[in-house]
Structure 1
Amino acid sequence: MRVTLKDVAKAAGVSTATVSHVLNGTKSVADGTRERVEAAVDALGYRLSQPARTLRTGRHRVLGLLLPDLTNPFFPALAKAVAETARKLGYGLMLSESGADSQSESQALAAIEQRVDGVVWVPEAPHPQHLPYRPTVIIDRVGPELAAFDSVSSDHQAGGRLQARLALELGHRRIGLLAGPADSISARSRREALCEALGEVRPEWIVEVPFSLELPSEAVERLAGSEATLVIAANDAVAIGALRVLKAHGRRVPQDVSLIGFDDIPWAALVEPPLSTVRQPVQAIGRRAVELLHRRLSGQGGEPEHLVLPVEYVERGSVIALEQEAAAI
């Protein structure tokens, strides 16, 4: 026989309304009561009818996550954090990849909005053609067009300053910069803060690259022939791509050239040498984004919140000091 809401209420010793509040997250319930209801649900094997609940409440209890590129190792880590928090708050998760152009992104956003209550979105296009009509939290790339939405991002300016301070403290004056795309707000913020913090020290060369392991020919040529003692990469994927190029051209890291990334993806600790990098708090970013979205879906209004989370330097084996130059600072 099919287990009903009344069966769960009877087993837990509560009303059917209380069971509904626990399952749908529509009202705060005491921890002890919640635990009894959840235990009864598990014991009886009760399962909600999602189509019926959607018709009744107008809500799917599903969140959307729209990411630009699932091949970038940072994004699966972010998706995991979003999924874990969504599950704890009683939501399912629908994941979609937006693609690299504004039209594909607009189509992906329009499609996912039809099936979810709210969206966590990492925009790809610098000027989105389509703005969400569902409650939405923006991660990382918050341009002027998206300032009306809640957002969570790392402190990219602080990350750029951190890379610059590290370079100067370790005595590096010949610096190569593999900068991210100019239309990426986060990459541009890091680049501008880095160059400003370097002061009179100017990078010997700057090459814009995609956030990818595969580097364009200009970047390969610079890495192979440059006398830079430190290369700063747009993210860890770019840094690992640079590490491969340097090794292929007989240049040792860090003995011949130091290398620093950004993100602290899982691969960063696995390459040889392990990659020194600036860590984004990916778990906290995903968690706070879902929590902000949940608040909006729970009816809390107010001005949009823009959370900026701190970054930190992770020292591994790809960066060393230039002793003579460092002593001269």
Structure 2
Amino acid sequence: MAMVAASAGVSGQTVSRVVNGSPRVDPETRTRVEAAMAELGYRPHRAARALRTGRSHTIGVVVTTLTTVGNSRMLQATAEAAAERGYALTLVTASNGVGTALASLAEQEVDGAIVLNEASAQITAAALPRDLRLVVIDAPKDAHVAAVHSDHSGGAFAATTHLLRRGYDTVHHLAGPADSFAAAERERGWREALAAAGMPAPEPVRGDWSAESGYAAGTALRTAPAVFCANDQMALGLLRAFADAGRDVPGEVGVIGFDDVPDAANYRPPLTTIRQDFTALAHRAVEALISGIEGTSDSRSAIVIGTTLITRESSR
């Protein structure tokens, strides 16, 4: 480190700040220090740094599954955001409960943890490690933890209003799992949009986020004039069900999804959907967690990331 400092013409403290991802270094100086590190082949010794600082510079991530698009995209974005701040990731699944997963992370001496999406439903009932800082994506309102989430209800309101303005008589809802915060918020936005238009809400049909459950919902929704689906994967299954039944989309029935998965533009027809900014979600979650770890902030106010309506051919 002393050799890097001498080569870059800075103090050892400045090199330490660069190594630890501190924002208190101007870009020109950071570039100079990083060039000296590369030239000299300097790499921080993570174990030695942990002994010195009491921090491992590792963030834990808890998931229930990686089969859903939201979880897999959030994991990738979180890994990228953590790496930019000089933190590594340790991934655990909540197959034996979130409490057990967090206890495992605490034993591995991670500096903090991020709980993703569906796993957040278990937070309020879980025994949380006392000294482990947490940020929860899609935290229930009574969880009393630092939380980050998309504007699910606002996106659902926009989707439902869009379909009504396109002339569909009413909008049915293919909802997500009953214990999901995101699904509940999207259902709330759908109901509020119908109420604002002076319309009663039809009984929602519930799926499990999968395309298979969307296809199965096609029977219950066979006469719906329009459907707002709680995610794009269920919308994909529903589109196939409508195609098999000979229903024209969007002429006879309009369909909107949620997420804007990479393939949504290539569905048949291309899917109108609500885009979540997974990169922004991950960066804000990592930023909030590291701020808590480093003692620069300890806010428990929820951070809400806006969503965007992406109009394609599945809504006329």
Normalised to the residue count of structure 2, the TM-score between the two structures is 0.89
Point out where structure 2 has 5 or more consecutive residues left out of the alignment.
none
Point out where structure 1 has 5 or more consecutive residues left out of the alignment.
321-329
Partners of 1:280 and 1:26 in 2: how far apart? 29
Determine the structure 1 residue equivalent to 2:65.
69
Which letter does structure 1 place at the counterpart of 2:125? P
Paired-residue identity, %: 38
Q: Give how far 1:157 is off.
A: 2.0
Q: Does 1:45 align with 2:41?
A: yes
- Alpha carbons of structure 1 residues 218 and 78: separation in structure 2 relative to 1, 3 Å: closer
Partners of 2:85 and 2:112 in 1: how far apart? 13
What do residues 183-227 of structure 1 show as CA deviations (whole Å, max 9, x unaligned)? 22221122123123212423444211112222178624214xx21
Q: Give how far 1:319 is off.
A: 0.9
Match of 1:137 among 135, 139, 152: 135
Determine the structure 2 residue equivalent to 1:325.
none
Match of 2:236 among 233, 237, 240: 240
Q: Does 1:192 align with 2:185?
A: no
Determine the structure 1 residue equivalent to 2:103.
110
Partners of 1:202 and 1:192 in 2: how far apart? 13
What do residues 64-99 of structure 1 show as CA deviations (whole Å, max 9, x unaligned)? 222332111122222222222212211122233334
Partners of 1:26 and 1:272 in 2: how far apart? 47
- Alpha carbons of structure 1 residues 141 and 250: separation in structure 2 relative to 1, 3 Å: farther
Determine the structure 1 residue equivalent to 2:81.
85
Match of 2:113 among 116, 119, 123: 119
* SS at 1:214 equivalent: helix
Determine the structure 2 residue equivalent to 1:294.
290
The answer as to whether partners of 2:209 and 2:234 remain within 8 angstroms in 1 is yes
Partners of 2:302 and 2:204 in 1: how far apart? 30
* SS at 2:204 equivalent: strand
Determine the structure 2 residue equivalent to 1:274.
270
Alignment of 1:215-254 (within 5 A): 215=213, 219-223=217-221, 226-254=222-250
Partners of 2:68 and 2:199 in 1: how far apart? 31
Q: Give how far 1:174 is off.
A: 4.1
The answer as to whether partners of 1:275 and 1:317 remain within 8 angstroms in 2 is yes
Q: Give how far 1:141 is off.
A: 2.9
- Alpha carbons of structure 1 residues 242 and 113: separation in structure 2 relative to 1, 3 Å: farther
* SS at 2:121 equivalent: coil
The answer as to whether partners of 1:207 and 1:218 remain within 8 angstroms in 2 is no
Q: Does 1:29 align with 2:25?
A: yes
Q: Does 1:182 align with 2:158?
A: no
Q: Give how far 1:239 is off.
A: 0.8
* SS at 2:212 equivalent: coil
What do residues 280-319 of structure 1 show as CA deviations (whole Å, max 9, x unaligned)? 2222111111111121122124542311122221101111
Determine the structure 1 residue equivalent to 2:205.
207
Determine the structure 1 residue equivalent to 2:151.
155
* SS at 1:19 equivalent: helix
- Alpha carbons of structure 1 residues 303 and 219: separation in structure 2 relative to 1, 3 Å: same
- Alpha carbons of structure 1 residues 62 and 125: separation in structure 2 relative to 1, 3 Å: same
Partners of 1:36 and 1:230 in 2: how far apart? 58
Partners of 1:66 and 1:233 in 2: how far apart? 26
- Alpha carbons of structure 1 residues 17 and 82: separation in structure 2 relative to 1, 3 Å: same
Q: Give how far 1:7 is off.
A: 2.6
| Segments ≥4 residues shifted beyond 6 Å | none
- Alpha carbons of structure 1 residues 106 and 220: separation in structure 2 relative to 1, 3 Å: farther
The answer as to whether partners of 1:174 and 1:227 remain within 8 angstroms in 2 is no
The answer as to whether partners of 2:176 and 2:207 remain within 8 angstroms in 1 is yes
Partners of 2:30 and 2:112 in 1: how far apart? 25
- Alpha carbons of structure 1 residues 114 and 241: separation in structure 2 relative to 1, 3 Å: farther
* SS at 2:219 equivalent: helix
The answer as to whether partners of 1:204 and 1:228 remain within 8 angstroms in 2 is no
Higher mean C-alpha deviation, range 189-198 or range 277-286: 189-198
The answer as to whether partners of 1:209 and 1:219 remain within 8 angstroms in 2 is yes
The answer as to whether partners of 2:151 and 2:305 remain within 8 angstroms in 1 is yes
